[in-house]
Amino acid sequence: MPKRQSDKDILATAKARYQLAQDAESEIRREALIDLEFAAGKQWDTEDERARRAMTTGRRPCLTFNKLTGPLNMLANEARMNPPSIEVLPVDSSSDPETAKVLEGMIRHIQYVSKAPQVYETMLEQSTKGGFGHSKVTTRYCGNKTFDQELRIERIINPFAVFVDPFAKEADKSDAMWAMELEWVPREDYKAEFGETELVQASFFDGGSCPAPGWITDEAVLVARYWYIEVEAKTLVAIQWPDGKVTNEYADELPDELPAGLQYAMDKDGERIERDDEIRHVKMCRINGVEVLDKTDWQGQWIPIVTALGEEMWIEDKRYVFSLIRFARDPQRLYNFYRSSEAETVMLGTKAPWVGVKGAFKDPRWQTANTVPWAFLEYEPLDIAGNPVPMPQRNLAEPPIQALSIGAAQASDDIKATTNIYDASLGARSNETSGVAIRQRQSQGGLSNFHFIDNLNRAILQCGAILCDLIPKIYDTPREVRILGEDMQEEIVKVNQKWVDDREQEHCYDLTSGKYDVRLKIGPNYLTDKEKTEAMVTELARAYPQVMQIAGDLIFENLNFKGADKIAERLRKMLPPGMADDGKAKPVELLAQQNQQLSMQLDQAMTLAEKQQEQIRTASIEAESKERIEFAKIAQADREASLNAQVKILELNEKLTSAENVALLRAEMAQLQAQISEMASGRAAMDTAASLEEQPPEMPMQPGPQPGMPPEGPPMGGPPAMEQPTL
């Protein structure tokens, strides 16, 4: 352990470092104070303002036109629109990705309950207006009757109340070895909080000799939280186990003789593997310039004060810090002078005197001729000598307003050039027409001053590193903690203990084991990303409707209206097995759901098949009925035609009574028989084709009369056919 300092040594060191920081940062703090006054509107030199307001002949205008609020607000609002987020990453083999997610959710919860956006915005405003800003990480008890603590992020409203090691080289001052936070405590509050301390007992408040004039006054006491780091030197050695495993241990924590089976690991030269290591111990004590009031051992490895600098510059090992408006102060003063001169010139121009001989202004109305619009003014036509005189004339002169206006415009342009914020960035119209061009032009001011936002991001990253280092040490007992997801949905998880979830799987988020690191994610926040996602999925669903069948639940999850989550849940239940698994259901429940879905799908398929078979059967019956009706019509027509032909043959047979008609009858009979043969052959061909379609080809033709052919017996019950006569 490092050598423990006495209270006297701690107090002496703290006061010496306080004086060192004051001397090293005196110029930075003096210029920062002027910058803050400028941003607040106090832009005239004190002597000039006093001289202008104390003129015996009349008060001269002392106007202020603060043109610095636009650039300051634009940069601050740009940072508000793109807040960064802290991500936690596992580093070594002992760390767990799921535990990293829990750590990230805990940091997000700490930022939420601490109102961290307000803290970060205050730091940015302080760095842009004055050159530097600060915040801090603190601990507090979770509530009454508990020893559990939780972390918080707090604002430091007065940046001049913090002094950080001036020898720190890092941009975020994470390598500072000491820091000091000052607070003036009223006399009565000091007595109530600290009781009978040496300061109270010595009655320094009552006009006695004060041993610390800069710390103690008649009204209050300056109490400082003095943070410092003690470095402990240790020797780290490598120990080899019987199974070949090598671990690293500190030499002072090992016994004089290693247990059986263990030995020191050796390098290739046969030397023991070891090196010097340093352990950082952070201490905090409160002092009043006379004594140490209390002491505290901080559990982290960094001083929990976060610093955001403005524009930083090193010249010959001396640090210079500039605000956004540092080099705009002179153009702002010049602009105020020109505009005040314009007002003064106009004011004096309305009071141009009347010129005339002595004795011509006897009328008392001439005394108020510059302020009262008299209808007429009378003058004496004779002077004091009795000689005629001309009428009084006014001494009119054109005031140099144009020259003053040109000077004011030039000073305004100088303000824009020194702040890198031009009219287009502030919303003024330009010659750009497309939306992309307008946005790019407006973003030029943000890009030219992005180093202020980037310095703030460094401070936020250091704040995340401090939280990631403190969480395993503050939340070191089994407990339930609240975490927030990226969508700010809260969840209660158990840490530093084993627990079983709804799927009967065992988890253990051990915050005390493993090593984790942080990084910063810069870009649009979750709400902005959700708006973009909503527009994208809506356009995708409109262009490809089939996407709704496989990703409808995801689409509705990203839509922002009441009831969208319920629709997404219903669509998720309709997905095929395996696609809707969100990792929350039990394996048995998943199997039952899959079986139920398969049964439903099988029932639907069988019902659909039965409907299709019924439709096919109905269509077949309808087709057969239509074919039978058509064949019946054709057969009826054939029978009628055959009957008509036979009737005509009988009529011809009856007419065979004379020889002279024999030739004529024979010709008609031949013609009728030819027609009957053609009709019979055509109907036979049609019957054959129909039978081939309806009956299997191997079925033999049934004997008997075929459709369309004349029957063998007497037609329709008539007399038998007569034998044709031989001519």
- Whether the CB-CB separation of 146 and 475 falls below 8 Å is answered with no
**Extended strands (E) in 299-361:** 305-309, 311-315, 318-322, 354-355
216 three-class SS: strand
Instruction: Pull the structure tokens for residue 293.
Output: 């009031």
**Both tokens assigned to 607:** 């019902």
Q: Cα separation of 591 and 724, whole Å?
A: 92
Confidence at residue 282, expressed as pLDDT on a 0 to 100 scale: 95
Give tens-digit pLDDT for 64-90.
Answer: 999 999 889 888 888 888 888 899 999
Looking from the CA of 543 toward its CB, the CA atoms found within 13 Å total 6
pLDDT at 108: 94
Question: Which tokens sit at 113?
Answer: 């309950």
Q: What is residue 382's DSSP assignment? A: B
**Alpha helices (H) along 146-239:** 187-194, 198-201
Which residue, among 376, 409, 519, 385, has the nearest Cα to 460 in the 3D structure?
Answer: 519
**Number of Cβ within a 10 Å radius of residue 611:** 10
**Are 383 and 389 a contacting pair, CB within 8 Å?**
yes
Would you give the DSSP letter of residue 100?
H
Round to whole Å and give the CA distance between 315 and 344.
Answer: 43
Tokens of 336: 């105020």
Q: Which amino acid is at 41?
A: G
Q: Which residues pair with 276 in a beta bridge?
A: 235
Helices within 66-197 (DSSP H only): 69-81, 97-113, 116-129, 187-194
Which residues, at least 6 apart from 460, have a Cβ–Cβ distance to it below 8 Å?
84, 86, 120, 306, 520
pTM: 0.68
Instruction: Give dist(CA 455, CA 457) in Å, integer.
Output: 5
pLDDT of residue 3: 58
Structure token pair of residue 253: 């924590």
**Residues belonging to the chain:** 727
Report the distance separating Cα 144 and Cα 435, nearest Å.
56
Tell the residue number behind the tokens 């007419």, with chain if given: 655
* Tokens encoding 361: 């202004």
How far, in Å, CA of 70 to CA of 408, rounded?
A: 18
Note the pLDDT of residue 692.
52
C-alpha to C-alpha distance for 424 and 445, rounded to whole angstroms: 9
The amino acid that residue 407 corresponds to is: G
CA distance 289 to 198: 11
DSSP 8-state secondary structure symbol assigned to residue 1: -
Cα(413)–Cα(425) distance, rounded to whole angstroms?
14
85 close to 486: Cβ distance less than 8 angstroms: yes
Q: What does the pLDDT read at residue 276?
A: 92
Q: Round to whole Å and give the CA distance between 280 and 235.
A: 14
3-state SS, residue 74: helix
586-590 long-range CB contacts below 8 Å, 24 or more apart?
Answer: 586/502, 586/503, 586/504, 587/503, 587/504
Whole-number pLDDT of residue 6 = 85
pLDDT, tens only, 462-512: 999 999 999 999 998 999 999 998 878 889 999 999 888 877 888 889 998
Q: Are strands 292-298 and 263-264 parallel, antiparallel or unpaired?
A: unpaired
CB atoms within 10 A of CB 617: 10
Q: How many CB atoms lie within 10 A of CB 454?
A: 11
Cα separation, 638 vs 386, whole angstroms:
156
What the block records as the tokens of 118 is 């307000």
Residues 6+ apart with CB under 8 A from 223: 182, 183, 184, 185, 190, 286, 287, 288, 293
Nearest to 486 by CA among 38, 111, 236, 52: 111
Dist. CA 37–CA 110, nearest whole Å: 34
HSE of 402 in the Cβ direction (CA atoms, 13 Å)?
A: 1
pLDDT score for 21: 94
Query: 3-state class of 694 per DSSP?
Result: helix
Residues 6 or more apart in contact with residue 642 via CB below 8 angstroms: 676, 679, 708, 709, 710, 715
Helices 547-557 and 526-543: crossing angle in degrees, nearest 10, is: 160
Answer for the pair 33, 328: CB distance below 8 angstroms, yes or no.
Answer: no
d(CA 305, CA 176): 10
Phi, psi of 228 (to 5 degrees): -150, 160
- Picking from 156, 134, 291, the residue whose alpha carbon sits closest to that of residue 222 is 291
Q: Residue ranges of the chain with pLDDT lower than 50? A: 583-586, 588, 693-727
Q: 């002595």: which residue's tokens? A: 358
Helix (H) or strand (E) holding 686: helix 662-694
Q: Name residue, tokens 């990226």.
A: 486
CA–CA separation, 585 and 503 (whole Å): 6
DSSP string, 412-461: HHHHHHHHT--TTTTT---S--SHHHHHHHHTHHHHHTHHHHHHHHHHHH
Question: Long-range pairs for 262-268 at CB < 8 Å and ≥24 separation?
Answer: 263/239, 264/237, 264/238, 264/239, 264/240, 265/237, 265/238, 265/239, 265/240
Contact 250, 235 (CB under 8 A): yes
CB burial of residue 321 (10 Å; 0-12, 13-18, 19+): buried
